[in-house]
């Protein structure tokens, strides 16, 4: 699940879901409260809650699983490429937790 926040200059945003093969896009025409997604949250009942700039939407009947990443997989978070800030590299191990 991924929230898409788009300004008025580009096409409408929404929520995208990847089922392992392809992406499916949910938009206001599908019942989403608004096009600019601010936050996504998963409830204990596996509902997806979508907070938009104009309202809140619940997406029910979802099949959500948790995928474990191998311990040597590194995750990278990169700031704005126009910035002079240093990139952060996150890595996770089974024995020592997360490292930055």
Give the model confidence (pLDDT) of 7-40 as tens digits.
Answer: 555 567 788 888 778 888 888 888 888 888 888 8
Put simply, whether the predicted model's pTM sits higher than 0.85 gets the answer no
Domain ranges in the chain?
2-59, 68-100
Whether the CB-CB separation of 12 and 5 falls below 8 Å is answered with no
Q: Which two tokens stand for residue 15?
A: 């929520």
Per-residue pLDDT of 72-99, as tens digits, reads 555 555 555 555 555 555 555 555 554 4
> What distance in Å separates the CA atoms of residue 41 and residue 59, rounded to the nearest whole number?
10
Distance (Å, rounded) from C-alpha 99 to C-alpha 86?
A: 16
């Amino acid at each position: 699940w991924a929230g898409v926040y788009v300004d008025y200059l580009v096409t409408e945003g929404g929520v995208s879901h990847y089922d392992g093969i392809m992406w499916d896009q949910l938009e206001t025409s599908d019942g989403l409260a608004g096009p600019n997604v601010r936050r996504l949250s998963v409830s204990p009942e596996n509902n997806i809650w979508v907070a938009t700039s104009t309202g809140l939407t619940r997406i029910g009947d979802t099949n959500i699983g948790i995928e474990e990443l191998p311990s040597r997989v590194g995750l990278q978070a990169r700031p704005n490429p126009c910035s002079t800030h240093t990139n952060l590299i996150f890595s996770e191990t089974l024995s020592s937790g997360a490292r930055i």
